[in-house]
Amino acid sequence: MSLKKILIKIMDFILLDCKQATFLVTKELEGSLTFWEKIRLKMHLLNCKFCYNFNVQNEKIDGILKATP
């Protein structure tokens, strides 16, 4: 296997699309992400303002729901 194909496979593993990222954002609120899911999600959020904003909104909603008796 060529180096280029190996690098592509590694990048495919590391990089998430927005659908995968939003799933992990939701899953993160449950506190059930694996180490690699956390890394992959953080990398995506650094590069995608839409998913970053989705994450911020979910954290705010979760905080409000937890504070409500």
Sign of CA dihedral 1, 19, 54, 34: negative
pTM, full prediction: 0.79
Cα dihedral 28→22→15→43 (10° resolution):
-60
The residues, ordered by sequence, that sit 6+ positions from 48 with a Cβ below 8 Å of its Cβ are 18, 21
Contact between residue 45 and residue 51 where contact means Cβ atoms under 8 Å apart: yes
Q: Tell me what pLDDT residue 14 has.
A: 80
pLDDT tens for the chain, residues 1 to 69: 788 888 888 887 788 999 999 999 999 988 889 999 999 999 999 999 999 999 999 999 999 998 987
**For the chain, which residues make up each domain, given as ranges?**
3-67
Residue 16 corresponds to which amino acid?
L
pLDDT score for 6: 85
Give the per-residue pLDDT at 13: 77
Residue 27 near residue 33, CB atoms below 8 Å? yes
